[in-house]
Amino acid sequence: MSDICHLDSDWFVNALATFLIIALVLSYAPQHVRIIQMGSSEGFSPWFLLLGSTSSTAGMLNMITLSWPTIQCCSDVSVGRCLELTAGVIQVTLQWFLFVAILVLYMIYYPARLKYVDIDIPAHGTLPPQHVKTKLLSDDWRLSVNVSWAVAIHLVVNAFITFFLLFTRIPGPGGEVPPQISMWATVLGVSSALLAGIQYAPQLSRTYRTKLVGALSIPMMIIQSPGAAIMSISIALRPGINWTSWAMYAVSGIMQAALLAMCIAWKLRQRRLKIDDFGYPLDSSSSTPLTDDVDTVVGEVSDIQVGDVPYDSEAEDVREDVPLLPKPGRSGRNSRFFGWLRL
């Protein structure tokens, strides 16, 4: 441990780590602010948030496991030296916190009108159908609540196993890492990379289907896509780290670049059609979706998500300017912070 604790300072690695810590906060801030300002989190895929949160959790615990001898140096060195030695752990922990914050904001600002199923009851004659609100939970909201619990349980279980192994570890005669801890770190790293590899698939599918940017933040992705490569290099340069710690960030950067390209394409399409990120005309103050030319199925929870309008790319008679996402409301600002914990 003494060799690790008294390694010579590397100004390049330290400068890179400091830059990445600041860049992480600045890159996630646009997404957090966008959700809060719009009062809506519509446009996110719950599966994307589930995979991203569990992937970042596994990556954080992998980094803590492999850096544990370095973390223990903090009891023998100054605060400044401690921060220098644990900069890699601080990076991945901050990245985990900032991503999970998106999930928390997603639940808090989930549009209240989309939490329950609305049913259109046919009327007699030429009268329009009656729009009836029910107490039946929509599939998308139920899935979102289950995702939140899954993320919390995954964090608790994996953190318990990690710290149990770390606090009960018995180093080998030469100070080498015990095999069970090395194996657990590999499990965490590989699972983190695999989850990151499929993390963006649900979001790419959802964004492609709606052909709208929604609540996604393009500035965040512009910063993070190249930043993922820099973060991978920064983590790889830390002492005692192997490929399982940085693979997740390299994979995430590639997938996020694909999502960024798609969002830019839809942004240009929205500008051409003169609609906003939720599909509403920019020159109209109406809060009612334009669904005259679209057959909307309401109330069939298992077949379609409430609030989504089915889109058929092969149907030439469907207007391109029909909004596919509900216009964000401001009612989410008044949501109770822990109200989403209840089904």
Where is average pLDDT lowest: 168-177, 223-232, 282-291? 282-291
Q: Which pLDDT belongs to residue 142?
A: 93
Q: Residue 65's closest CA among 175, 145, 161, 172?
A: 161
Give the number of residues written for the chain: 343
Q: What is the largest CA-CA distance in the chain?
A: 87
pLDDT tens readout for residues 5-64: 766 677 777 787 788 888 888 889 988 998 998 888 888 889 989 998 998 999 899 989
pLDDT tens readout for residues 260-273: 888 898 888 888 88
Backbone dihedral angles phi then psi of residue 241, each to the nearest 5 degrees: -105, 145
Q: Which tokens is 112 given?
A: 């209240």
Helices (H), the chain: 2-5, 11-38, 46-66, 68-71, 79-85, 87-108, 139-167, 179-210, 218-236, 243-273
What is the mean predicted confidence (pLDDT) over 281-305? 45
Q: Residue 192's closest CA among 154, 236, 231?
A: 154
What is the mean predicted confidence (pLDDT) over 131-160? 91
Task: Report the C-alpha gap between 267 and 273 in whole angstroms.
Answer: 10
Rg (CA), the chain: 23
Backbone dihedral angles phi then psi of residue 335, each to the nearest 5 degrees: -65, 145
Higher pLDDT among residues 207 and 239, named by residue: 207
pLDDT beyond 80 at 168? yes
pLDDT beyond 80 at 132? no
Higher pLDDT among residues 326 and 235, named by residue: 235
Whether 36 contacts 330, CB under 8 Å: no
Whether 48 contacts 197, CB under 8 Å: no
Task: Report the C-alpha gap between 134 and 60 in whole angstroms.
Answer: 42
CA distances to 84, 210, 222, 228, 267 from 264, rounded to whole Å, are 38, 14, 10, 19, 5
Percent residues over pLDDT 70 in the chain: 73
Q: Which tokens is 83 given?
A: 């921060």
pLDDT beyond 90 at 144? yes
Whether 51 contacts 199, CB under 8 Å: yes
pLDDT beyond 50 at 342? no
Question: What residue type is assigned to position 80 of the chain?
Answer: G
**143, 146, 151, 152 alpha-carbon torsion, rounded to 10°:** 150
Q: Is the dihedral of CA 184, 187, 190, 194 positive or negative?
A: negative
Q: Which pLDDT belongs to residue 100?
A: 95
What is the mean predicted confidence (pLDDT) over 123-136? 71
Q: Which pLDDT belongs to residue 315?
A: 41
Where is average pLDDT lowest: 64-78, 126-140, 143-157, 306-320? 306-320
Residues 6+ apart with CB under 8 A from 283: 274
Percent residues over pLDDT 90 in the chain: 19
pLDDT beyond 70 at 333? no
Q: Which tokens is 313 given?
A: 């790319």
Task: Report the C-alpha gap between 160 and 207 in whole angstroms.
Answer: 36
* Axis-axis angle for helices 218-236, 11-38 (nearest 10): 150
Q: Which pLDDT belongs to residue 33?
A: 92
Whether 340 contacts 107, CB under 8 Å: yes
Q: Given the structure tokens 């199923």, which residue do they identify?
A: 117
What is the mean predicted confidence (pLDDT) over 91-109? 93
Q: Which pLDDT belongs to residue 35?
A: 92
CA distances to 51, 156, 294, 317 from 271, rounded to whole Å, are 31, 44, 21, 21
Q: Residue 211's closest CA among 52, 331, 104, 318?
A: 318
Q: Which pLDDT belongs to residue 243?
A: 67
pLDDT beyond 90 at 149? yes
Question: What residue type is assigned to position 218 of the chain?
Answer: I
pLDDT tens readout for residues 229-280: 777 777 777 666 666 667 767 777 788 888 888 889 888 888 888 888 877 7
pLDDT tens readout for residues 115-127: 888 777 776 666 6
Q: Given the structure tokens 């989850």, which residue do they identify?
A: 195
Q: Which tokens is 287 given?
A: 């809060």
